Structure formats: C-alpha cells, structure tokens
Structure 1
Amino acid sequence: MGKLTQARVDKAEQRAKQYFIWDRDLKGFGLRISPGGAKSYVIQYRMGGRGFPAKRYTIGKHDSPWTTVAARGEAKRLLAEIELGNDPKDAEEERRADQLHSRFEQFANQFLELYGEREWAPNNYKNQKGYLSNWIVPIMGKKPLGTIKRKDVVAVLDKVPANKPSLPRNLFVLMRLMFNWAVDRGALEKSPIAGMKPPRQPSERHHILAHDELILLAAYAERMGPVWGNLIHMLLLTGQRRNEVARADWSEFNKALRLWTIPPARTKNGREQIVPLNAGAMACLNELAGRHREGDGDAWPKRGYVFFHHDGKPVSGFSRMKRRLDKGLASASTIEMQPWRFHDLRRTVATNMQQLGVRFEVTEALLNHVSVTHAGVASVYHRHDWLDEKRSALEAWSARLAQLTEDWDGFLPDAKEPKS
C-alpha cells in the first residue's frame, strides 16, 4: 500500500465490483472506485475506537475541487474532528435537515447563486429568475423544501393563463432542474416532479406576413411617430429580435463601417451578433440621431439608448403599442391583417431572404440562430465568415422592401393614427 497520489488515482482501473485504495501515510484516507468507474475520496473511521463499527464518509468525487491534495487536507481536518468526538455524518445530517426545512424561497435564491449565475447566459438568467419570482415562488415560496408535493407543481402550472401556451413547459423544465439539483446535493431524497409528464409543447407558429400585409405595416409605421415607427422599420430591415432592437445603445453602432455589434449579454443565445447596416437601417438611425441630445450634425451619439422615452429610459409598453398599431392597421386600409406577433417579422424577413436567393447559412447567421453548422470551434469563425454575405443579403432586402412600398397609397382617405 503506497501513498495516494494524483497519478495513482488517475491510473486506478474500473473493476466489476467496488473496491478501495487506501493511503499509506494518512490512516483512514482512501479512494473508492465504483463498478461504473466513478472515483470518490473517502475516510473510514470508528467513533469510540476499537470495538465500535466502522463508518465511511464521502468527501467528494475526484475532480475539481477535490484533487488528491485538497481531499487529503479535508481528510486530515475531518479525522481531527473525529478525534474530538465530532462525527461528520451527524454534521451532514444537520445540513440536510436545514436544507429540507428551509423555505423554498431560500432554496431558490441559493439555486440562482450556485447554479444559475455559473451556468446560464445573462439573458437566460434574467428570464429564469423572472419565472421563479413571478410564477413559482408566489405558490411555493413559504413552503419548506422537503414538504413540496406534486400538487404544488400542478398548482404552479394551473396558474398560467391560456394566452401563454409556451410558459407551462418552460416552468416545468425549470422546476425539474431545480429539484434534481436539490437531490444531487442531498437536500431532497426524491424530486416531487419525478415521473410527471411535461406539459405539451405548443405547436410551432409558422405565420409569415403576406406581401400586402408587409407593405401596409411598413407604410403605416411612419404614422406611429419617430420612435415606434423607426423601431418597427429596424425590425423589418434587420430581422433582429424585438428586445435586441429596442434596447440598442449607440455605443454598439459604427457609422463609418456601417456595422451594429450586439454584445453577448444582450442576445438570446449569449453569442455576439454583427449586423451590417443596410440603406434603410442607416436612414432610420440618421433620423433617430437627431432626437438625441448628443447628436452633433451628421454624427451619431456615442452612448445612450437609441429608442428612448423623454426620461431617457428605453422604450417600454409594447403590448399597449401593439394594440394601438393593430387598431390603426385595421382602420387604415381595406387589407385585412391576420393576427401577428413581432417575432413573426423575423420569420417573414427570413422567408423573403430565401426568395431573394440568399443561402440558408447566411439567413441563419443573420438571425443569430445556433445550428449544427455553428457547433464547437467552428462557431468562432462563423460569426465573421458570413459578414460580406450578410451585408449583400441585407442590402438586397432593403432595396426589395423599398420597392414594395414605393408609391404605395393603399390608405383609406379618412385614415388617421388612432389614439392610445
């Protein structure tokens, strides 16, 4: 029996049955190798000395943070505590009991800190935290973690209104992750969500605005005022997500290079997005620059929200604006708009791009979609490899949109922009 070293641990082979390798220098310190090949550091000890049953306590799995050196240090500390009469298993049971009887709200905060902040991109973290605070914590928050039952999970799902078809499944996935995390950490013996079927995935929307609807929207947007009107035009001209456009900051734009760089913290997938600015987008930004206090002649501001209210805060109230827009569209023309959402504009842009002969990979790059072509190391290059192609595609789309709306006068004679 030799000293337990990193090299010795790495060389330990998997066997049909569980076995142990004990350290020569520190009595009671060892490595357990499971039939599946998992390696964990353990201590073996007797409370009260000879004549009392042997106990084993698991320090942790071999890997960060438990290197052989770190595990040896922890083993020394635990064995010293045992000499003083303190059983580490008792302390572990107390920790589990504390977690089991702590309120779900406390557990949720711990989960966000120890899991969410480390594993999720900033935008995803914000979304998941919103799910917790708005939907899950109001129902489960005051309950001890160990008392939460399946009926509590159902109560969360039943609270979701019918007009949010995707939300139940999103909440279910989050709760399943949280409870499984609690089980892995020993805070729960079993997840209350185990064995439950997830809510049905809503059928994917495939709505694409027809050409007459697209023309009406592009033409009518000007009647929504310079802020909302240009925001709608930027959505149509760039194909980017609503919040990515609405929260755009002047610091992201390079007028000389005609580029808009959306930082990872503001994209849905946490990937930087570079958007070439076509003629239509440049026209929108030139008009908006004139609203900004820092606007100096033809120069664009260096910082600050592009789309902002008079108090300088970014635009909000999309639902109210959408109702006003829909009301105006309905009364402005004989064209009947089918029910639509802002996200449908991305799909509409993508479809029109393909009709213009734009390659699928370029369209995917424009939409900042993560696909199989963006996997692994290749993703580092794909963001830039398509820059020239993206510019050509967006310029062609800008020209096409201008052609569609040019000289169009489909408004009813008495059409007026409705009040909110």
Structure 2
Amino acid sequence: MGGTSVRITKRFIDQAQPSAKPAFMWDSELRGFGLRIEPTGTKTFVLRYRLRHLGPTGPKRFFTIGRYGPLTVDQAREQARAVLGAVSMGQDPAAKLAKDKAEQTFSATVETFLTEHVRKKRKPATSADYESLLRSYAIPEFGRRKLTEVARGDVAKLHSKLSEKPYQANRLVAVIGSLYSFAEARGMVPEHFNPARRIEKFKEDRRERFLSMVELERLGAAIVEGETVGILWPVDGIKLMSKHAPKCENRVTLLTPEAAAALRLLIFTGARLREILDLRWDYVDVQRGLLLLPDSKTGRKTIVLNSAAQAVLTSLPHTSAFVIPGKTLDKPRSDLKKPWGLVSARAGLKGVRLHDLRHTFASVGAGSSLGLPIVGKLLGHSQPQTTARYAHLDADPLRRASELIGDQLATAMRGRRAAIPTGKPPSDSDV
C-alpha cells in the first residue's frame, strides 16, 4: 500500500486535505507509523508491521491506533512504539485485536445460551427461571462486556448485592456458571474459565410449613362449604358501609367441582401443582391405581393413588382430555390462585402456600415412620437428600434408640452397686 513519506506533525495533519479516495501518509521518522485520510475528512492513526518470524518478505499487518482529535500525534506515536515493541517480542497485536472484536459480548452470549441450550434442554419453567434471572440481574451488570472481561470478583459483587434475596442470589450464580460452561464447550472462552466458580453461597432458610390435623380438618370443611353453599368473599370494612357495596348473596363464591377436586388431589397425592393441573385421563390407570406421568420436574414419574385420591378421580366426569380442564375444554386449568385464596382464608391458613400441601403429605408420611426412602418414592424425589429435609419428623427411630439406651442404663442401675476403689464403705460425701 503506497503513500507519501513525511514528518507527521499536528500542523501537517491540520493542513492535510481529503481526496476522492482514502490516502495514506507515512511518518519519515518512526517506521510503519502513518495517517489514513478518508474522503469524508476523518483522519486516523495507523501502523503497519511484519511479524519477525516471517522475515522481510512476510505479509504486512495493519493496526488501527485511533482517530486524530481524541488522540494527539504524540499519544499516537507513543502507542505505535508500544505496539512495535510487542511485535519485536514475537507478538501479533493486530491478530489479538481481531480476536477481541470477534469475541461475543455477555449479552449476545446469553441469547445464544437461551436459544441453543436452555430452551432445548430444560423444562419450560426452568427455562423461564434462567431467562428471568439473566435479564433481570446479569445483563444489566455485564451485558456490554466481553465474556472474558467478567471476573470472579464481578460475579461475587453482584451476588453480594442480592444478599436480601439469598435464594435468587445463589440461583443466579449457578445460572451464570451454567452459561460459562456452555461457552467453554463452544470454545468461546478458554478452558476452565468460569467466574462463577468458588463463590460462597448464602445460607438459605428453607421454608417448611406443615398443616396440623386441626388445620387439615378446617381446610376440608372449607372445601366442602365452597363446593356446596359457597364462601362469602371478604370486603373492606369501609367499602362494606358504602351504599354501592354488594349484598351478601352477591358475595358468595362457589368452587367448581374441578377446582375442589384439584385441591383434594394435591392433598392426597403430594403431587406438584402442574402435575395435577396438566394431568390427562390417558395418564390415569384406574385398575392399578396409578398416575403414569410421562414427564415431570424429575422426568418420567409414577404416582401411587390411595383410596381417597381414587375416590376424587372417580367423582369427576370425562368432559375433556384433561382431568382438570380450563375455561376451554381443550386446555388444562392455568392455576388455582383464586380457589386456594378463598378456601385457605376461610380455613384461617394465613401464609400457607399450595406447595405446603406437598410438604404436609411428606410430613405425615415421615411422622408415621414409613421411612424416608418410601416417602421419597411417593413424592418422586430423584435424590435422597431432597427427602432428608423431613428426617427430623421421623421420630420413631429416635424413640426406639432412646428406649434401647434407656433400658440398658436402667438395667445397669438396678444391678448390684460396683465396688468402691478405696475399699471403704460409702459415706455421705460419696453420694
């Protein structure tokens, strides 16, 4: 690439005029340092060099230093010397710059990760959770950075910001770690480069709420009331005094048979909400008393039906492919928020979630000394440690152990007293 060789100074650059084509001016003092003048008048400092190992006949490399204006001549010349110094050490700054430009930003990688990995290999709920965490917290923090520009300290700082939301903070670190594992497998980052590793997680206080037998009795009565005479939904005291307040008979809400059945099935099976709402009649094996779910949170799953659950299923009409149909028969019911809010309030179950019905099922099983492996099988747990959270409720093994130790101690104490080492009879001070 040709060009004029001159002493590049501020005065020269200011006087240089653009032409119809890009023109190059090469510095007469620092070899390879030059100025590119665009037809638009833009003036940019450049550098050309050859790699040492290729010799004087090797191809020339071109490196853009920066625009004149933001950069002065002296600053550009100094940067050119630094680049030439790197070249003399056997480096190739132009290739490194091209590689850096080719590297995806964190934000762009998130889109690739969600499209090519998460949505294809994770369940919809998990996929939505990943996307929400990345878009809400990670992208605002790291979105414009290159993948390798995010350090462990940056992820740790973001994790610390969410200290008031320990579960979300820990989950976010896990998702970022999964993203970098994906990037490593695709060759986007060097091997073992993962800034989410070795970040100490926050302690999570698992919320365990089990309904007592008294609470279950109230809940059962509320469901019966809701599906027979209806439940009076509450109205704010001030609004109740208004002349436009609805009459009592207009504030009564009836539970549909399907909603009542769904609540009972959650109680009697310990199933997850979507496992009941998405349940199809094709999955129900009446003869063997089983629900054969082709897919669940932990994959294929079989739910063993007790007689109470079977009675609920028997009472329902087959009006749809779904056991609990929605507003249109070709789709399942979307949620149970309103029915649960109604009956839980009526039963006085403040702060109790639908998922606590699953915990209650497990607590009854553990408290009945059925054994944690059996309870885990009924719940469909894939890992024993998931069921271990109910271990403190399995009181029978502890009671048996305590009885065994107590019997041996009592037997020893009822036996003849051991001899006193001194050989003298016991006195009051020995007691």
TM-score, normalisation: structure 2: 0.51
Match of residue 317, structure 2, among 278, 289, 294:
289
Inter-CA distance 353–123: structure 2 relative to 1 (3 Å threshold): same
| Distance (Å, rounded) in 1 between the aligned partners of 2:279 and 2:133 | 24
For residues 80-136 of structure 1, give each alpha carbon's deviation from its aligned partner in whole angstroms, at most 9, with x where no partner exists. xxxxxxxx998897455322xx34332012223454367656664454344334554
Inter-CA distance 153–329: structure 2 relative to 1 (3 Å threshold): same
For residues 227-246 of structure 1, give each alpha carbon's deviation from its aligned partner in whole angstroms, at most 9, with x where no partner exists. 32211100111111122112
Alignment of 1:128-139 (within 5 A): 128-133=130-135, 135-137=137-139
For residues 2-42 of structure 1, give each alpha carbon's deviation from its aligned partner in whole angstroms, at most 9, with x where no partner exists. xxxxxxxxxxxxxxxxxxxxxxxxxxxxxxxxxxxxxxxxx
Are the counterparts in 2 of residues 258 and 277 from structure 1 also a CA contact under 8 Å? Answer: yes
Give the C-alpha shift of residue 195 in structure 1. 5.9
Asked if 1:280 corresponds to 2:308, the answer is yes
SS, match of residue 289 in structure 1: coil
Letter in 2 for 1:360: L
Show structure 2 runs of 5+ residues with no match.
1-51, 59-91, 227-254, 387-431
For residues 60-89 of structure 1, give each alpha carbon's deviation from its aligned partner in whole angstroms, at most 9, with x where no partner exists. xxxxxxxxxxxxxxxxxxxxxxxxxxxx99
Asked if 1:353 corresponds to 2:365, the answer is yes
Task: Specify the alignment match of 2:86 in structure 1.
Answer: none
Inter-CA distance 91–206: structure 2 relative to 1 (3 Å threshold): same
Letter in 1 for 2:365: M
Task: Specify the alignment match of 1:258 in structure 2.
Answer: 289
For residues 356-393 of structure 1, give each alpha carbon's deviation from its aligned partner in whole angstroms, at most 9, with x where no partner exists. 4534322111111123599xxxxxxxxxxxxxxxxxxx
Are the counterparts in 1 of residues 322 and 332 from structure 2 also a CA contact under 8 Å? Answer: no
| Distance (Å, rounded) in 2 between the aligned partners of 1:371 and 1:110 | 31
Are the counterparts in 2 of residues 136 and 156 from structure 1 also a CA contact under 8 Å? Answer: no
Asked if 1:197 corresponds to 2:190, the answer is no
Task: Specify the alignment match of 2:177 in structure 1.
Answer: 176
Task: Specify the alignment match of 1:246 in structure 2.
Answer: 277
Task: Specify the alignment match of 2:109 in structure 1.
Answer: 107
RMSD between aligned residues: 4.1
**Greater Rg over alpha carbons, structure:** 2
TM-score, normalisation: structure 1: 0.52
For residues 194-230 of structure 1, give each alpha carbon's deviation from its aligned partner in whole angstroms, at most 9, with x where no partner exists. 66433x1312233221110112112322313323221
Letter in 1 for 2:304: P
| Distance (Å, rounded) in 2 between the aligned partners of 1:246 and 1:140 | 38
- Report the number of matched residues: 271
Task: Specify the alignment match of 1:30 in structure 2.
Answer: none
| Distance (Å, rounded) in 1 between the aligned partners of 2:337 and 2:135 | 21
| Structure with larger RCO (C-alpha < 8 A, sep 6+) | 1
Inter-CA distance 244–132: structure 2 relative to 1 (3 Å threshold): farther
Letter in 1 for 2:363: T
Are the counterparts in 2 of residues 105 and 140 from structure 1 also a CA contact under 8 Å? Answer: yes
Inter-CA distance 103–356: structure 2 relative to 1 (3 Å threshold): same
| Distance (Å, rounded) in 1 between the aligned partners of 2:148 and 2:115 | 20
Give the C-alpha shift of residue 307 in structure 1. 3.9
Among the aligned pairs, what percent are the same residue? 20
Letter in 2 for 1:236: I
Inter-CA distance 311–259: structure 2 relative to 1 (3 Å threshold): closer
Asked if 1:306 corresponds to 2:324, the answer is yes
| Distance (Å, rounded) in 2 between the aligned partners of 1:197 and 1:346 | 30
Alignment of 1:84-103 (within 5 A): 94=98, 97-99=101-103, 102-103=104-105
Are the counterparts in 1 of residues 284 and 292 from structure 2 also a CA contact under 8 Å? Answer: yes
Task: Specify the alignment match of 2:261 in structure 1.
Answer: 230
